[in-house]
Structure 1
């Protein structure tokens, strides 16, 4: 049964994380955060920042700065990161095979939802770079979730926006936070190392399969968890 529907007529679908998964932006975010912290007098190594990319801004700042800090700075650090990252919007590029994978999923009959917790303006820039709006069922942004990753809110919002049940959907993401938040909803995750997180770390978090990038997943589509989802396995 390869039409993207269950036997009861419920749709099947895929929830795509965007940053690092479909858009090659993880290291741009790392540099933007590094500059943002430095502007406020915090010396935070890029290696520590990179491992937390994909986590919500508030949680990321909490993880990287001392608990007894002056928290009045937190909002301005987050704002600085956003401004610094915006410099790169015009030059954003999809990861290898990203647009083709999104279209392959849609052509197979899967509901396709972009599950991003970035703000709407950033998501708009990434959607323009990806160029697949014509095959998307829905897109989520930060305003759709009360809490950001590793909380599961953004994937819960994506399921609702796509008219999907957790048992009929799968997540594709590049960060351990994607895997952790998806698991809270009973969603399996296909991990991609395109964001710079290792296969071992993604599997340790619970990813059911790991590929180098969207192109590698596309090349293995017929043998991947996406095909098994279509088949109802």
Structure 2
């Protein structure tokens, strides 16, 4: 029997491997506006009048940071957990029908087939993360996931992206981060990776560019169709 080819030493593998790190909400799964409506309703039920456009701009932050961004640092912080729980309950009603964005799964599968190590870096966790992965239906292409439970600080801090790279042992210079919000782009830039933006989360192109996006595509389908000329070539 022919012996299997020898595996390269760990240090050499790290130099060769490349990581494609993806945000999930608004980037791969079409959930941003569901989050807007359910956060708006959770805030409304607690007596807070926050316009939906302001909620939309905050999507992508972790729960505590989102509430602080919308209500200010002088808010009653004892209410944060109740607001987060209300949002989770409202958003959980959609877990069985979260819609993947067009060609999101095929994009991950193509990158995996091309030799990229695919990692998710998301503020979701638990049942929510499971629902997102079911919607993507591309588990075989995903090597690891960095969730909200794994980090102390969420985006725009670099920790979620850094932790995603630590999980697969790939340095920042060998990685690309794809996201849909300014928080994603700032986190990726601070982590030292190349940043790619997508417009399907509803954030304007100019805002993503100002936050650090080096290339921008309409959605996963556009990125997949343009892959050979993208930073993920």
The equivalent of 1:207 in structure 2 is 213
CA distance in 2, matches of 1:62, 1:160: 29
| Structure having greater relative contact order (Cα 8 Å, sep ≥ 6) | 1
Give 1:132-147 correspondences, 5 Å limit.
132-147=138-153
The equivalent of 2:168 in structure 1 is 162
Contact persistence 1:113–1:158 (CA under 8 A): yes
CA distance in 2, matches of 1:163, 1:8: 6
Cα RMSD of the aligned pairs, angstroms, is 1.5
CA displacement at 1:68 relative to structure 2 = 2.6
The alignment's TM-score, normalised by the length of structure 2, stands at 0.92
Contact persistence 1:112–1:162 (CA under 8 A): no
The equivalent of 1:61 in structure 2 is 67
Q: How many residue pairs were aligned? A: 223
Q: For structure 1, list consecutive stretches of 5 or more residues without a partner in the other structure.
A: 1-5, 228-233
CA distance in 2, matches of 1:169, 1:13: 5
1:34 aligns with 2:40: yes
CA distance in 1, matches of 2:98, 2:85: 20
Extract structure 1 runs of 4+ deviating beyond 4 A.
6-9
Query: 1:7 and 1:121, CA in 2 relative to 1: closer, same or farther beyond 3 A?
Result: closer
Larger radius of gyration: 2
CA distance in 2, matches of 1:219, 1:158: 26
Q: For structure 2, list consecutive stretches of 5 or more residues without a partner in the other structure.
A: 1-11
CA displacement at 1:69 relative to structure 2 = 2.4
Give 1:1-233 correspondences, 5 Å limit.
9-227=15-233
